[in-house]
């Protein structure tokens, strides 16, 4: 996608391509860390110091208590994390509601694990969805709803009310079980 975008002088919304320089403070910290030996794989669930810091932040700022040893995972990126979750939680033929416009890797991941994408529309300019449409899409094979915020490629930032409605919807239909 990057090559094709460059050919036509387009803006690449398909990948996380950064168009700014790495801040000097970040480059210096990376150099220091590599020279100190931080240059190998970490535990599969992330560095303990970061998981502990996240647990403290979540409790302090959000009132949420999580055990950093078995309830917090830090991944190398959201695409890889979504792929791992899809492999772990979905079976061939399971259905996942995918909001359109959707991020290409979400569809590719569902196809790779042989799950079926079922499409719900986000309507511009505010990228709202129709709850009745989601109700019509539910079948006995529906296992999940893919929510990405901010949504790629449209940039929708889901509101708290929308996320709470979706959580209730998922619970009502016992998604993920």
- Residue ranges of domains in the chain, CATH in brackets: 1-40 (no CATH), 43-74 (no CATH), 78-172 (3.40.640.10)
100 has pLDDT over 80:
yes
| Least-confidence region, from 4-18, 21-35, 36-50, 109-123 | 4-18
Are residues 137 and 146 in contact, defined by beta-carbon separation less than 8 angstroms? Answer: no
Query: Average pLDDT of the chain?
Result: 91
- Whole-structure pTM value: 0.72
Q: With 80 as the cut, is the pLDDT of residue 69 above it?
A: yes
| Residue 1 banded pLDDT, cuts 50, 70, 90 | low
Looking at the predicted structure, is the pLDDT value of residue 168 above 90? yes
CB 80 within 8 A of CB 46: no
CA angle 28, 31, 34 (to 5 degrees): 150
Average pLDDT over every residue of 4-23? 78
Cα separation, 30 vs 46, in Å, equals 17
Distances (CA, A) of 21 to 1, 18, 45, 177: 21, 8, 29, 44
Q: How far is CA 89 from CA 46, 84, 152, 168, 177, in A?
A: 20, 9, 23, 20, 9
Whole-angstrom CA distances from 112 to 41, 86, 106, 108, 131 are 25, 9, 10, 6, 28
- What is the mean predicted confidence (pLDDT) over 150-176? 93
pLDDT tens string 106-129: 999 999 999 999 999 999 999 999
Confidence of residue 17 (pLDDT cuts 50, 70, 90): low
Q: What is the pLDDT of residue 16?
A: 66
CB 101 within 8 A of CB 79: no
């Amino acid at each position: 996608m990057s090559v094709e975008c460059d050919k036509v002088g387009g803006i690449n919304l398909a990948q996380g391509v950064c168009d700014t320089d790495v801040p000097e403070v970040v480059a210096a910290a990376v150099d220091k860390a590599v020279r100190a030996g931080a240059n190998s794989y970490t535990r599969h669930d992330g560095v303990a110091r970061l998981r502990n810091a996240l647990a403290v932040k979540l409790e302090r700022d959000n009132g949420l208590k999580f055990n950093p040893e078995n309830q917090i995972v830090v991944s190398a990126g959201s695409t890889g994390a979504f792929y791992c979750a899809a492999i772990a939680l979905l079976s061939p033929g399971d259905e996942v509601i995918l909001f359109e416009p959707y991020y290409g890797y979400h569809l590719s991941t569902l196809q790779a694990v042989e799950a079926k994408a079922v499409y719900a529309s986000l309507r511009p300019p505010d990228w709202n969805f129709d709850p009745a449409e989601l109700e019509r899409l539910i079948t006995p094979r529906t296992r999940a709803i893919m929510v990405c915020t901010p949504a790629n490629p449209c940039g929708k930032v889901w509101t708290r009310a929308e996320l709470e409605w979706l959580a209730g919807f998922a619970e009502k239909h016992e998604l993920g079980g």
